[in-house]
Structure 1
Amino acid sequence: MYVAFDQLPPESRVWIYQASRQLTGPEIVAVLPSLARFAEEWTSHGRSLQASAQFLHQQFLVIGLDESVAGASGCSIDASVRFVAQLEQQLGIELLEKSNLAFLQAGQVQLLKRGELKEAVTAGTIGPETFYFDNTLQTKAELDTSWPRPAGETWLARYFGEAQKTRRLA
Protein backbone atom coordinates (compact mmCIF):
# COMPACT_ATOMS: atom_id res chain seq x y z
CA MET A 1 0.00 0.00 0.00
CA TYR A 2 1.41 3.37 -1.02
CA VAL A 3 1.86 6.04 1.65
CA ALA A 4 3.39 9.49 1.22
CA PHE A 5 7.06 9.33 2.21
CA ASP A 6 6.71 12.05 4.85
CA GLN A 7 3.91 10.01 6.47
CA LEU A 8 6.18 7.03 7.16
CA PRO A 9 7.02 6.75 10.88
CA PRO A 10 10.61 7.48 11.99
CA GLU A 11 11.38 3.81 12.65
CA SER A 12 10.55 2.86 9.04
CA ARG A 13 13.30 1.01 7.23
CA VAL A 14 14.94 2.75 4.28
CA TRP A 15 17.05 1.65 1.35
CA ILE A 16 19.08 4.32 -0.45
CA TYR A 17 20.23 3.89 -4.05
CA GLN A 18 22.64 6.49 -5.39
CA ALA A 19 22.36 7.45 -9.06
CA SER A 20 25.47 7.71 -11.21
CA ARG A 21 24.42 11.21 -12.21
CA GLN A 22 21.93 13.85 -11.18
CA LEU A 23 18.50 13.33 -12.67
CA THR A 24 16.62 16.12 -14.38
CA GLY A 25 13.29 17.37 -13.13
CA PRO A 26 11.45 15.91 -16.15
CA GLU A 27 13.11 12.51 -15.60
CA ILE A 28 11.94 12.42 -12.00
CA VAL A 29 8.42 13.53 -12.90
CA ALA A 30 8.30 10.79 -15.55
CA VAL A 31 9.11 8.02 -13.02
CA LEU A 32 6.84 9.23 -10.19
CA PRO A 33 3.96 7.00 -11.36
CA SER A 34 6.31 4.00 -11.41
CA LEU A 35 7.48 4.76 -7.87
CA ALA A 36 3.91 5.02 -6.59
CA ARG A 37 2.86 1.86 -8.46
CA PHE A 38 5.81 -0.10 -7.02
CA ALA A 39 4.97 1.02 -3.47
CA GLU A 40 1.28 0.24 -4.02
CA GLU A 41 1.94 -3.27 -5.37
CA TRP A 42 4.90 -4.28 -3.16
CA THR A 43 4.05 -7.33 -1.07
CA SER A 44 5.68 -9.79 1.32
CA HIS A 45 4.25 -13.31 1.44
CA GLY A 46 1.00 -12.02 -0.03
CA ARG A 47 0.64 -9.18 2.49
CA SER A 48 0.62 -5.59 1.28
CA LEU A 49 3.52 -3.50 2.50
CA GLN A 50 3.04 0.08 3.62
CA ALA A 51 5.75 1.71 1.55
CA SER A 52 6.88 4.74 -0.36
CA ALA A 53 9.64 5.72 -2.77
CA GLN A 54 11.04 9.07 -3.81
CA PHE A 55 14.10 10.75 -5.26
CA LEU A 56 16.03 13.11 -2.97
CA HIS A 57 18.58 15.70 -4.11
CA GLN A 58 17.77 14.55 -7.66
CA GLN A 59 20.41 11.86 -7.08
CA PHE A 60 19.14 9.31 -4.56
CA LEU A 61 16.27 6.87 -4.84
CA VAL A 62 14.97 6.17 -1.34
CA ILE A 63 12.52 3.35 -0.66
CA GLY A 64 10.83 3.41 2.73
CA LEU A 65 8.88 0.67 4.48
CA ASP A 66 6.80 0.81 7.65
CA GLU A 67 7.78 -2.54 9.11
CA SER A 68 5.30 -2.18 11.98
CA VAL A 69 2.59 -3.04 9.43
CA ALA A 70 4.51 -5.86 7.71
CA GLY A 71 8.20 -6.54 7.28
CA ALA A 72 10.09 -7.22 4.09
CA SER A 73 11.01 -10.79 3.25
CA GLY A 74 13.90 -11.97 1.12
CA CYS A 75 11.57 -12.31 -1.86
CA SER A 76 10.13 -8.82 -1.41
CA ILE A 77 13.63 -7.33 -1.14
CA ASP A 78 14.55 -9.19 -4.33
CA ALA A 79 11.46 -7.65 -5.97
CA SER A 80 12.59 -4.17 -4.91
CA VAL A 81 16.06 -4.75 -6.41
CA ARG A 82 14.44 -5.89 -9.68
CA PHE A 83 12.38 -2.69 -9.65
CA VAL A 84 15.53 -0.60 -9.12
CA ALA A 85 17.21 -2.44 -12.02
CA GLN A 86 14.21 -1.58 -14.22
CA LEU A 87 14.57 2.09 -13.25
CA GLU A 88 18.24 1.92 -14.22
CA GLN A 89 17.22 0.74 -17.69
CA GLN A 90 14.41 3.29 -18.00
CA LEU A 91 16.57 6.24 -16.95
CA GLY A 92 19.90 5.13 -18.42
CA ILE A 93 21.67 5.42 -15.05
CA GLU A 94 23.30 3.19 -12.47
CA LEU A 95 21.60 2.87 -9.10
CA LEU A 96 22.97 -0.45 -7.88
CA GLU A 97 26.67 0.44 -8.31
CA LYS A 98 28.33 1.10 -4.94
CA SER A 99 31.82 2.32 -5.92
CA ASN A 100 31.09 6.06 -5.80
CA LEU A 101 30.86 8.17 -2.67
CA ALA A 102 28.63 11.25 -2.61
CA PHE A 103 29.46 14.54 -0.90
CA LEU A 104 27.58 17.81 -0.68
CA GLN A 105 29.87 20.63 -1.78
CA ALA A 106 28.76 24.16 -2.60
CA GLY A 107 25.15 22.98 -2.52
CA GLN A 108 25.73 20.31 -5.17
CA VAL A 109 26.08 16.54 -4.92
CA GLN A 110 29.59 15.58 -6.01
CA LEU A 111 30.55 11.97 -6.71
CA LEU A 112 33.99 10.60 -5.96
CA LYS A 113 35.28 7.14 -6.82
CA ARG A 114 36.15 5.19 -3.69
CA GLY A 115 39.72 4.73 -4.94
CA GLU A 116 40.18 8.52 -5.15
CA LEU A 117 39.18 9.19 -1.55
CA LYS A 118 42.65 9.12 0.08
CA GLU A 119 44.03 11.50 -2.54
CA ALA A 120 41.09 13.91 -2.10
CA VAL A 121 41.52 13.89 1.70
CA THR A 122 45.29 14.41 1.45
CA ALA A 123 44.74 17.27 -1.01
CA GLY A 124 42.18 18.83 1.33
CA THR A 125 39.36 18.59 -1.23
CA ILE A 126 37.41 16.45 1.25
CA GLY A 127 37.66 17.26 4.94
CA PRO A 128 36.01 16.10 8.15
CA GLU A 129 33.42 18.90 7.85
CA THR A 130 32.50 18.03 4.23
CA PHE A 131 28.96 16.69 4.22
CA TYR A 132 28.79 13.02 3.21
CA PHE A 133 25.76 11.00 2.13
CA ASP A 134 26.08 7.77 4.12
CA ASN A 135 23.75 5.50 2.18
CA THR A 136 24.01 2.69 4.72
CA LEU A 137 21.46 4.32 7.02
CA GLN A 138 18.71 1.97 8.17
CA THR A 139 15.78 4.16 9.30
CA LYS A 140 13.81 7.17 8.18
CA ALA A 141 14.75 8.91 11.46
CA GLU A 142 18.45 8.61 10.53
CA LEU A 143 17.64 9.86 7.03
CA ASP A 144 15.80 12.87 8.47
CA THR A 145 18.44 13.80 11.05
CA SER A 146 21.82 12.50 9.88
CA TRP A 147 21.83 12.56 6.09
CA PRO A 148 24.02 14.08 4.91
CA ARG A 149 26.33 14.66 7.86
CA PRO A 150 29.96 15.70 8.31
CA ALA A 151 32.29 13.04 6.91
CA GLY A 152 34.31 13.10 10.14
CA GLU A 153 31.26 11.72 11.98
CA THR A 154 30.94 8.72 9.65
CA TRP A 155 33.00 5.65 8.83
CA LEU A 156 35.20 8.01 6.78
CA ALA A 157 36.67 9.52 9.98
CA ARG A 158 39.67 7.18 9.85
CA TYR A 159 40.81 8.77 6.58
CA PHE A 160 41.25 12.17 8.20
CA GLY A 161 43.56 10.77 10.87
CA GLU A 162 45.67 9.15 8.15
CA ALA A 163 45.84 12.43 6.21
CA GLN A 164 47.10 14.29 9.30
CA LYS A 165 49.86 11.68 9.79
CA THR A 166 50.89 12.01 6.13
CA ARG A 167 51.06 15.82 6.36
CA ARG A 168 53.22 15.65 9.53
CA LEU A 169 55.65 13.25 7.87
CA ALA A 170 56.01 15.46 4.77
Structure 2
Amino acid sequence: MYVPFDQLPASARIWIYQANRPFTATELENLQPALSRFADEWTSHGRALAASVAVLHQQFLVVGLDEAVADASGCSIDASVRFVQGIEQQLGIQLLEKSRMAFLLDGTVTLLDRTALKGAVAAGQLAAETPYFDATIAQKGQLAAAFPAPASQTWLGRYFPSAG
Protein backbone atom coordinates (compact mmCIF):
# COMPACT_ATOMS: atom_id res chain seq x y z
CA MET A 1 0.00 0.00 0.00
CA TYR A 2 1.35 3.37 -1.02
CA VAL A 3 2.30 5.79 1.75
CA PRO A 4 3.58 9.29 0.91
CA PHE A 5 7.33 9.24 1.54
CA ASP A 6 7.18 12.11 4.02
CA GLN A 7 4.61 10.14 6.05
CA LEU A 8 6.82 7.08 6.52
CA PRO A 9 8.08 6.91 10.13
CA ALA A 10 11.70 7.72 10.97
CA SER A 11 12.17 4.00 11.72
CA ALA A 12 11.20 3.00 8.16
CA ARG A 13 13.77 0.84 6.39
CA ILE A 14 15.21 2.37 3.24
CA TRP A 15 17.24 1.26 0.27
CA ILE A 16 19.15 3.95 -1.62
CA TYR A 17 19.96 3.50 -5.30
CA GLN A 18 22.42 6.07 -6.62
CA ALA A 19 22.06 7.04 -10.27
CA ASN A 20 25.09 7.55 -12.48
CA ARG A 21 23.58 10.87 -13.62
CA PRO A 22 20.80 13.19 -12.48
CA PHE A 23 17.26 12.32 -13.49
CA THR A 24 15.83 14.90 -15.90
CA ALA A 25 12.64 16.76 -15.02
CA THR A 26 10.83 14.89 -17.80
CA GLU A 27 12.09 11.52 -16.54
CA LEU A 28 10.93 12.33 -13.01
CA GLU A 29 7.51 13.41 -14.24
CA ASN A 30 7.10 10.28 -16.36
CA LEU A 31 8.46 8.01 -13.61
CA GLN A 32 6.20 9.22 -10.79
CA PRO A 33 3.16 7.04 -11.68
CA ALA A 34 5.37 3.91 -11.83
CA LEU A 35 6.94 4.72 -8.45
CA SER A 36 3.53 5.12 -6.82
CA ARG A 37 2.18 1.98 -8.53
CA PHE A 38 5.15 -0.11 -7.35
CA ALA A 39 4.73 1.08 -3.75
CA ASP A 40 0.99 0.44 -3.91
CA GLU A 41 1.37 -3.10 -5.31
CA TRP A 42 4.50 -4.24 -3.41
CA THR A 43 3.73 -7.27 -1.23
CA SER A 44 5.48 -9.78 1.02
CA HIS A 45 3.96 -13.27 1.12
CA GLY A 46 0.66 -11.81 -0.04
CA ARG A 47 0.59 -9.07 2.58
CA ALA A 48 0.55 -5.45 1.46
CA LEU A 49 3.62 -3.46 2.43
CA ALA A 50 3.39 0.16 3.64
CA ALA A 51 5.88 1.56 1.17
CA SER A 52 6.95 4.57 -0.80
CA VAL A 53 9.54 5.52 -3.39
CA ALA A 54 11.10 8.96 -3.73
CA VAL A 55 13.84 10.58 -5.76
CA LEU A 56 16.13 12.78 -3.68
CA HIS A 57 18.58 15.38 -4.99
CA GLN A 58 17.49 14.33 -8.51
CA GLN A 59 20.03 11.48 -8.27
CA PHE A 60 18.96 9.00 -5.60
CA LEU A 61 16.04 6.60 -5.87
CA VAL A 62 14.96 5.73 -2.32
CA VAL A 63 12.59 2.86 -1.54
CA GLY A 64 11.07 3.12 1.93
CA LEU A 65 9.21 0.50 3.94
CA ASP A 66 7.38 0.77 7.27
CA GLU A 67 8.40 -2.56 8.78
CA ALA A 68 6.02 -2.01 11.72
CA VAL A 69 3.22 -2.85 9.24
CA ALA A 70 4.98 -5.79 7.53
CA ASP A 71 8.58 -6.84 6.90
CA ALA A 72 10.04 -7.35 3.46
CA SER A 73 10.82 -10.95 2.56
CA GLY A 74 13.61 -12.12 0.30
CA CYS A 75 11.11 -12.44 -2.54
CA SER A 76 9.75 -8.93 -2.01
CA ILE A 77 13.26 -7.48 -1.91
CA ASP A 78 14.01 -9.34 -5.16
CA ALA A 79 10.86 -7.75 -6.63
CA SER A 80 12.10 -4.29 -5.67
CA VAL A 81 15.46 -4.94 -7.34
CA ARG A 82 13.65 -6.11 -10.50
CA PHE A 83 11.65 -2.86 -10.37
CA VAL A 84 14.89 -0.84 -10.15
CA GLN A 85 16.37 -2.85 -13.03
CA GLY A 86 13.29 -1.98 -15.08
CA ILE A 87 13.87 1.72 -14.43
CA GLU A 88 17.50 1.31 -15.50
CA GLN A 89 16.42 -0.25 -18.79
CA GLN A 90 13.60 2.22 -19.38
CA LEU A 91 15.72 5.32 -18.80
CA GLY A 92 19.19 4.13 -19.80
CA ILE A 93 20.47 4.96 -16.32
CA GLN A 94 22.57 2.97 -13.84
CA LEU A 95 21.17 2.56 -10.33
CA LEU A 96 22.69 -0.72 -9.15
CA GLU A 97 26.35 -0.05 -9.98
CA LYS A 98 28.25 0.63 -6.72
CA SER A 99 31.78 1.70 -7.74
CA ARG A 100 31.17 5.44 -7.44
CA MET A 101 30.61 7.63 -4.41
CA ALA A 102 28.55 10.83 -4.41
CA PHE A 103 29.70 14.11 -2.93
CA LEU A 104 28.15 17.57 -2.95
CA LEU A 105 30.70 19.87 -4.57
CA ASP A 106 29.78 23.48 -5.37
CA GLY A 107 26.10 22.63 -4.92
CA THR A 108 26.20 19.76 -7.43
CA VAL A 109 26.11 16.02 -6.83
CA THR A 110 29.48 14.82 -8.10
CA LEU A 111 30.42 11.17 -8.52
CA LEU A 112 33.90 9.91 -7.77
CA ASP A 113 35.21 6.42 -8.48
CA ARG A 114 36.15 4.62 -5.26
CA THR A 115 39.66 4.01 -6.59
CA ALA A 116 40.21 7.79 -6.86
CA LEU A 117 39.24 8.55 -3.25
CA LYS A 118 42.71 8.57 -1.65
CA GLY A 119 44.11 10.73 -4.44
CA ALA A 120 41.22 13.20 -4.21
CA VAL A 121 41.75 13.56 -0.45
CA ALA A 122 45.54 13.98 -0.89
CA ALA A 123 45.01 16.59 -3.62
CA GLY A 124 42.59 18.56 -1.43
CA GLN A 125 39.61 17.96 -3.74
CA LEU A 126 37.79 16.34 -0.83
CA ALA A 127 38.01 17.60 2.73
CA ALA A 128 36.69 16.24 6.01
CA GLU A 129 33.71 18.61 5.77
CA THR A 130 32.86 17.76 2.13
CA PRO A 131 29.21 16.57 2.10
CA TYR A 132 29.01 12.85 1.27
CA PHE A 133 25.86 10.93 0.31
CA ASP A 134 26.21 7.67 2.22
CA ALA A 135 24.05 5.19 0.30
CA THR A 136 24.40 2.67 3.13
CA ILE A 137 21.98 4.61 5.34
CA ALA A 138 19.22 2.16 6.26
CA GLN A 139 16.57 4.23 8.10
CA LYS A 140 14.48 7.11 6.83
CA GLY A 141 15.15 9.15 9.97
CA GLN A 142 18.83 9.36 9.06
CA LEU A 143 18.15 11.07 5.73
CA ALA A 144 17.39 14.56 7.08
CA ALA A 145 20.39 14.65 9.41
CA ALA A 146 22.97 12.69 7.43
CA PHE A 147 22.20 12.71 3.70
CA PRO A 148 24.55 14.31 2.95
CA ALA A 149 26.86 14.37 5.97
CA PRO A 150 30.43 15.64 6.32
CA ALA A 151 32.64 12.89 4.90
CA SER A 152 34.61 12.62 8.14
CA GLN A 153 31.42 11.74 10.03
CA THR A 154 30.72 8.72 7.81
CA TRP A 155 32.60 5.50 7.17
CA LEU A 156 35.00 7.68 5.09
CA GLY A 157 36.36 9.27 8.28
CA ARG A 158 39.42 7.01 8.21
CA TYR A 159 40.62 8.80 5.06
CA PHE A 160 40.93 12.15 6.83
CA PRO A 161 43.59 13.06 9.37
CA SER A 162 42.21 13.39 12.88
CA ALA A 163 41.42 16.97 13.82
CA GLY A 164 42.69 16.11 17.31
* Same fold, TM-score > 0.5, yes or no: yes
**Structure 1 residue 73: deviation in Å?**
0.4
Instruction: Show the counterpart of 1:19.
Output: 19
Residues 11-50 of structure 1 mapped to structure 2, 5 A cutoff: 11-50=11-50
- The answer on 1:89 being equivalent to 2:89 is yes
**Structure 1 residue 161: deviation in Å?**
2.7
Q: Could you list the runs of 5+ residues in structure 2 that have no partner in the other structure? A: none
Instruction: Show the counterpart of 1:77.
Output: 77
**Structure 1 residue 143: deviation in Å?**
1.1
What letter corresponds to residue 74 of structure 1 in structure 2?
G
What letter corresponds to residue 6 of structure 1 in structure 2?
D
Calculate percent identity across the aligned residue pairs.
Answer: 61
**Structure 1 residue 105: deviation in Å?**
1.1
SS of the aligned residue for 1:64 comes to strand
**Structure 1 residue 19: deviation in Å?**
0.2
Partners of 1:8 and 1:145 in 2: how far apart? Answer: 16
Partners of 2:151 and 2:91 in 1: how far apart? Answer: 29
Greater fraction helix: 1
SS of the aligned residue for 2:94 comes to coil
Moved over 3 A (4+): none
> Who wins on radius of gyration, i.e. which is larger?
1
Count how many residue pairs are aligned between Structure 1 and Structure 2: 163
Q: CA RMSD in A?
A: 1.2
What letter corresponds to residue 159 of structure 1 in structure 2?
Y
TM-score (norm 1): 0.94
Q: Could you list the runs of 5+ residues in structure 1 that have no partner in the other structure? A: 165-170
**Structure 1 residue 145: deviation in Å?**
1.5
TM-score (norm 2): 0.97
What letter corresponds to residue 51 of structure 1 in structure 2?
A
What letter corresponds to residue 145 of structure 2 in structure 1?
T
